[in-house]
Amino acid sequence: MSLGDELRYLRAFHGGIHLQQIEAQAGLKPGTIRSIEQRYRRTGEDDEVLAKIAAVYGVPLERLQFHRERYRKALSAVLQRALETGATARFELRTGETLAGRVCWWDLGAFGLEPEGGGPLIVVQRHAVVDWPMSEPSG
């Protein structure tokens, strides 16, 4: 899950609080959080900014730093590699489950996963994926 997805999750968790409200509470420039939430590339380089956001949501800074490394384009790269190699890939979801299987397709919103143990195709929402192995998927 990217930092943007995590911030949106936290925002939803806090009753869908408005961006301007968080920015005002954190003392950030308008548009700062919006740009982080919507970016596909790695973002949120400034730890000072992240610390302010973390304080508003009441979460540790490390949690946001963890998601900073799992930006959307990084997941795209993993999915593409898994698609090309046909290797089994594993994805940890926000629900606590781990799904493993062969990636059949991926787009910007979701990806199709053929489960390792058989069964119908699972359409996994990208924003639900918390973590994935950063190394090559196993073949």
Partner 1 sequence: MPEDLRTLRERKKLSLNQLASKSGISIATLIEYEKGEREIPPADLRRLAKPLFANEWDINPRSTPPPSPPARPERPAGPPRPPRPREEKPPQEKRPPRPPAPARSTQIAHLLALAARFNVDRAALEAEIGKPLEELTLKEARFWNGQFMRRIVEERPPKQAIDRRRAYLPEGIDGFELAYLQAQQEAGVLLHFTLFDGQTFEGTVAGFGPYQITIREAGGDEITLNKLAIAYYRKAGGAA
CA distance 75 to 134: 9
**What's the one-letter identity of residue 7?**
L
Identify the CA nearest to 6 among candidates 92, 94, 76, 84: 94
**Residue for token pair 């961006």:** 19
Identify the CA nearest to 12 among candidates 91, 1, 137: 1
Q: Judged by CB under 8 A, which stretch of 48-56, 57-65, 117-125, 131-139 contacts partner 1?
A: 117-125
**Which residues 81-100 are close enough to bind partner 1 by CB under 8 A?**
93-95, 97, 99
Q: Judged by CB under 8 A, which stretch of 24-32, 47-55, 103-111, 131-139 contacts partner 1?
A: 103-111
CB of 55 to partner 1, least distance (A): 24
Question: Sign of dihedral through CA atoms 20, 16, 33, 65?
Answer: positive
* Contact flags string 13-52 toward partner 1, x per CB under 8 A: -------------------------x-x------------
Query: Applying CB under 8 A, does 115 fall inside the site for partner 1?
Result: yes
Largest CA distance in the chain: 50
Question: Contact positions toward partner 1, by CB under 8 A?
Answer: 2, 4-5, 8-9, 12, 38, 40, 72, 93-95, 97, 99, 105-112, 115, 119-128
